[in-house]
Amino acid sequence: MDDADLAFVLTQVSAAIGATERIISSDKIHPHVRAEQERSLVDLESARAELIRAPGQ
């Protein structure tokens, strides 16, 4: 993956993290949905960390 692709994917993952955080912060979602979103957030944050580490590998 070249630098431009990496930057694009990192931007998209970061945007997904922001959207997921907004969903989690809503007081109008069902607890089951909140739990699913919290698990997704962990996965997204892990993916972002991997992408950030990728250039230095």
Sequence spans of domains, the chain: 3-56
**pLDDT by position in tens, the chain (length 57):** 788 999 999 999 999 999 999 999 999 999 999 999 999 999 999 999 999 997 655
Angle separating helix axes 3-25 and 31-53, nearest 10 degrees? 160
| pTM of model > 0.75 | yes
**CB neighbours (10 Å) of residue 21?**
13
